[in-house]
Each structure stands twice: as C-alpha cells, then as structure tokens.
Amino acid sequence: ETGVTQSPTHLIKTRGQQVTLRCSSQSGHNTVSWYQQALGQGPQFIFQYYREEENGRGNFPPRFSGLQFPNYSSELNVNALELDDSALYLCASSSGSHSPLHFGNGTRLTVT
C-alpha cells in the first residue's frame, strides 16, 4: 500500500513568486487536506478537497488555492509569496468521514 507522497521535498523561492506543491493521496482515499506548519508551531488547516471540490477552508487568503484531480491527487498553489509563507506544507488523505488522516512527510518551502 503506497502512502501519501509529496513533491518536492524542499523548495526555495523568492518573495513575489508563485509555487505549486504536489500530493499523491494514499490508494483508495478520496479526501485530501493541506496544512501549513511554521517552525516550532503546530499545523494549521488550509483547506480540504473531496471529489475534486473544495470542502472547507481555514483562515488563509485567496492567494492560497488548490486543485484535486480525478485520481484524487492534489496541488497547492501559492501566489505572490511572502516571507511568512516559509513553512512545512503537509498533505493528508483519508477515505472520508470517521476515518483517520494519513500525512505525507511534507514539502519544506523557504521564501527569501
């Protein structure tokens, strides 16, 4: 059983640029969530996708956007990068309500 995989593992971008992070969900999972984890803090919910539609959103500005594809993989896009966007971005998948989240190892984004 393949777990949740994220790419790339590390990324360095310049302020004002755009970035796309990718996530392949675990086999059989139709729900994907994205979290931002700043250094020394707990993860913060960005949004969740269920069957290709956004299913809930945390307190993040519109420049954070996402997609989910028919194979349930997902992308997180961040426009107009700011220094504070530097963080570990975590993707998690599940097979729906009342099932546990399975997290990937994350993408470490550094904005300079």
Partner 1 sequence: GNSVTQMEGPVTLSEEAFLTINCTYTATGYPSLFWYVQYPGEGLQLLLKATKADDKGSNKGFEATYRKETTSFHLEKGSVQVSDSAVYFCALSVGARSNDYKLSFGAGTTVTVRA
Judged by the rule CB under 8 A, the positions of this chain that interact with partner 1 are: 3-4, 31, 33, 35, 40-45, 48, 56, 58, 90, 92, 94, 96-106
CA gap 66, 42 in Å, rounded: 21
Q: Which two tokens stand for residue 27?
A: 């086999």
Q: How far is the CB of 34 from partner 1 (least distance, A)?
A: 11
Q: What residues contact residue 2 under an 8 Å CB cut-off, 6+ apart?
A: 24, 26, 27
Q: In this complex, which beta carbon is closest to partner 1, that of residue 41 or of residue 77? A: 41
Q: How far is the CB of 17 from partner 1 (least distance, A)?
A: 26
Q: In this complex, which beta carbon is closest to partner 1, that of residue 52 or of residue 103? A: 103
CA gap 37, 90 in Å, rounded: 7
Q: How far is residue 109 CA from its own chain's centroid?
A: 11
Q: In this complex, which beta carbon is closest to partner 1, that of residue 3 or of residue 61? A: 3
Q: How far is the CB of 97 from partner 1 (least distance, A)?
A: 4
CA gap 5, 92 in Å, rounded: 9
Q: In this complex, which beta carbon is closest to partner 1, that of residue 81 or of residue 91? A: 91
Q: Which two tokens stand for residue 91?
A: 């993707």
